[in-house]
Amino acid sequence: MIFLNRVPKRKDILPVYAVIVLMVYGWTILKFSYYVPSWLYFLNLSEILIVFSYSMAVNLLESLSILIGVVTIAAILPQKWFAEMFVARGAGLSILLLGLMMYVANQFNTKGYYPSEIIHWSPIIFVFMGMFVYLIGRITFLRNAVECFADRTIIFLYISIPFSVLAFIVVLMRNLI
Amino acid sequence: MSNLSRRDFLKLAGLASGAVAMSHLTPRLMRNQTSDLPNIIIFVFDAMSARNLSLYGYERNTTPNFHKFAKRANVYHRHRSSGNFTTPGTASLLTGTYPWTHRAINLGGLIARDLVDHNIFSAFGSDYNRLAFSQNMLPNYLLGQFARDIETILPFSSFGILEQIYGESFTNDMSLAYRSFDDFLFKEAKPPSSLVFGLIDQILFRRQQARAGLDGDYGLPPRAGAEDLFFRLTDVFDGVNSTIRDLAANSPFLAYLHLWAPHEPYRPAKEYQNLFQDNYSPVRKPDHRFGDHIEYYKLKTHRRIYDQYIANVDAEFGRLIDDLDKSGVLENSYVVVTSDHGQSLERGLEFHFTNLLYEPLMHIPLLISAPGQSKRKDIYFPTNNVDLLPTLLWLVGRSIPDWIEGKLLPGLGGVGDMERSLFTLEAKTNRAFASLSQATVAMIKGNYKLIYYKGFESEDSFEFYDLENDYEELNDLYPAQPVTLKAIKDELLEKLDSVNAKYRGR
């Protein structure tokens, strides 16, 4: 119960989740748009939508797993370090983490690539990320900017969540019936 | 209904549950009643060109075990695939129709949805115990379409040593699950489309790969293209062996076994890596304008490794056949050995991702051994892989559906016909359900072969070869306009026009 009391409030979690959703779903939708022209050569619309459903279902799990990670950090760390300014620091951390993932993912253009340098330097990268997240809370301009951005991304939740739920139902129906 | 007594209700419930149980048991009981039907075992060795097999006269002794097997088989010397890569070639084999009919013409394409019931598994029916296995992802898309006609589809990664394949977990929706997960979200050698799980998947797989010593290229265990699957040929053939033995307990069975080797990347086992260090020099052919302009010496080196890989496959195949023979499985089985398409190692072009249709790309092996057959029979009439399905149906006494475009193979119910027209189509850049506006079509008639390149350049072009006198296709007769050309060209254009009629305007 003590741990649950340390979990940020729902109104603070939503903007952070919205940022995560924007980046995770946005990445997949962008890639999807690259594939669609070739799929249109031989898949029909319903098949393309089913592939989209699988993708949305996976995106939902991915975004939730990142959110759980961020919320857990907020619950574990001293409140002054993270939870007190959860929207700014949580959104900032998500942007940095997912941005780093996008950078690494883009390196996987060749067979056999392994991000050994990034893994080697990861402790330092994470320390810098932590420092930057801390600074977001300390510098008013940065904090306002991140909070403002996170707040504006909430609109995406109104699209992504219903779509993901629908996608999950599609995936379940195709595999259970 | 109000008069239904408790006793009546119990009787009805008993009958209903009995009926449900019987509906489940009927195919099995029928199978037992028809157990005198022969089994069918189809081996497809991916990208195995007949032009590299000593069985068909190749200079290097690549296939001593195929020779041995041929002593008890019908050997088709002029057998061709109707496509130059896996999707159309396999779809034609499985449906007995040409690519312009089944429309699986694109890389990873699918059979026209209204034709999905027209396949080898449905044609054999449920009194056959039907199993399919493919180590190549592309046939798995097709097998997923036929799933309701197949009792068992072995997972793509069966018999592998290192794998990370997700689509196969979704057994009810395999075709689209493979496409969603393994071809999109977690696709190898590209930035993953799933940012979090996809990235973790790629990092973990490459770490496992490095730990298992599977980083690199030559000398490693084979890999199924860019898919996350490594395997050893020995394991695969052992797995296939035990699968067939298990099937034999529930005869009659139909087994479609599509193995990756000798498809590139060529990875022969260690003991084959020193083979063919000889002075063999393949005929030099001019680079084709549609080729990749790869140097002759590079192609020559790669040809040697391809040949080593074929020799490796041949040895494993020999071991498998000997074992199945000893176990008695072959006593009541037709065994088919073939490929889905060939492989190019000439004219500056390697592999088969091309719009060219020269013989190394379309000439494939076909051997069919009948139960109890003890003599070799060589057949030199031209045949196509659309002919396999009707022939197999005829051999087991089934009627041949009218949707099949192939004919009975000579020597197995059919009569040889030198004047028959046979086609191979390459149209991977054309929309599947549209008129063929960008395609290469090869037509074989008698000893002649006409190739038509349509829509690739500002002007369409043709090549014409006399295969009887020009085995290597070096002398293009088209510019000389021989008398034999006109009728063949008219027929090809007419054929293309007729297959396009359905899609005109699309």
Are B428 and B442 in contact by the 8 Å Cβ rule? The answer is no
Domain contains B255: yes
Q: What is the pLDDT of residue B27?
A: 46
Q: B392 and B296, same structural domain?
A: yes
For residue B458, is it within any domain? yes
**From residue B317, how far is each of A108, A173, B320, B338 by CA, in Å?**
37, 42, 5, 12
Pairing relationship of beta strands B344-346 and B349-351 according to DSSP bridges: antiparallel
B108 and B27 fall within a common domain: no
Q: Please, what sign has the CA dihedral across residues B304, B341, B123, B143?
A: positive
Beta strands in B166-305 (DSSP E): 229-231, 253-259
Please indicate, yes or no, whether residues B147 and B21 belong to a single structural domain of this protein.
Answer: no
Q: Would you call A164 an interface residue with chain B, using a CB distance cutoff of 8 Å?
A: no
Same-domain pairing of B4 and B149: no
In terms of domains, do B191 and B299 share one?
Answer: yes
| Domain identity same for B221 and B368 | yes
Please report residues of B whose CB lies closer than 8 A to that of A38. 106
- Whether B68 and B16 map to the same domain: the answer is no
Query: Are the C-beta atoms of B406 and B389 separated by less than 8 Å?
Result: yes
Name the nearest CA neighbour of B225 among B313, B109, B135.
B135
**CB-side neighbour CA atoms (13 Å) of B355:** 18
pLDDT of A5 reads 78
Q: Are residues B11 and B50 in the same domain?
A: no
Q: Is the peptide bond before B382 cis (omega within 30 degrees of 0)?
A: no
Of B109, B180, B207, the CB nearest to A42: B109
B145 Cβ contact partners less than 8 Å away, ≥ 6 residues apart: B110, B111, B116, B119, B175
| ipTM score | 0.94
Whether B328 contacts B34, CB under 8 Å: no
Are B9 and B54 in a shared domain? no
Residue pair B478/B438 in contact by the 8 Å Cβ criterion: no
pLDDT of residue A169: 96
**Cis status of the peptide bond prior to B252, with omega within 30 of 0:** yes
> What is the rounded CA–CA span in Å between residue B321 and residue B310?
16
Q: What Cα–Cα distance (Å) separates residue B332 from each residue in A18, B40, B249, B251? A: 64, 9, 12, 9
Identify whether residues B201 and B267 lie together within a single domain: yes
Q: Which residues of chain B have pLDDT under 70?
A: 1-35, 216-218, 506
Q: B469 in a domain, yes or no?
A: yes
On the CB side of B414, CA atoms within 13 Å amount to 25
Cis omega before residue B265 (within 30°)?
yes
CA distance linking residue B61 with residue B80, whole number of Å: 22
Q: Give the domain ranges of chain A.
A: 8-176
Amino acid B226: pLDDT = 77
Q: How does DSSP assign B230-248, residue by residue? A: EE-HHHHHHHHHHHHHHHH
Type of residue at B158: S
Query: For chain B, what is the domain count?
Result: 2
Contacts of A111 in chain B (CB under 8 A): 188-189, 226
B184, B197, B218, B435: best to mutate for the A interface, most A CBs within 10 A: B184
β pairing state of B377-379 and B383-384: unpaired
Cβ contact (<8 Å) for B197 and A61? yes
Cis ω for the linkage preceding B262 (within 30 of 0): yes
Gap between the Cα atoms of B437 and B151, Å rounded: 39
Q: Would you tell me how many other CB atoms lie within 10 Å of the CB of residue B285?
A: 17
Which pLDDT belongs to residue B30? 47
pLDDT of residue B200: 94
Determine, yes or no, domain membership for B506: no
In the predicted model, residues of chain A with pLDDT beneath 70 are 1-2, 111-112
Report yes or no: A59 and B194 within 8 Å, Cβ to Cβ. Answer: yes
Nearest CA in chain B to A58: B194
Is A105's CB within 8 Å of B191's CB? yes
Q: Please, which residues 81-100 of chain A have a Cβ atom closer than 8 Å to chain B?
A: 98
Query: Distances from the Cα of A157 to the Cαs of A68, A150, B360, in angstroms?
Result: 16, 11, 55
- Token pair 């394991």: residue: B235
Minimum distance, in Å, between the CA of residue B192 and any CA atom of chain A: 6
Q: Are residues B131 and B237 in the same domain?
A: yes
Comparing C-alpha atoms, which of B201, B195, B62, B85 is closest to residue B137?
B85
Domain holding B2, by residue range, is 1-33
Tell me how close the Cα of A174 comes to any Cα of chain B, in angstroms.
6
B158 located within any domain: yes
Integer Cα distance of A48 and A157 in angstroms: 23
Rounded Cα distance, B471 and B465, in Å: 9
Distance CA B409, CA B93 (A): 13
Amino acid found at B408 = L
Contact A28 B194 (CB under 8 A): yes
Distance CA B420, CA B442 (A): 14
- Best of A29, A32, A58 to disrupt the B interface (most B CBs within 10 Å) is A58
Phi, psi of B273 (to 5 degrees): -75, -5
Residues B153 and B163 in one domain: yes
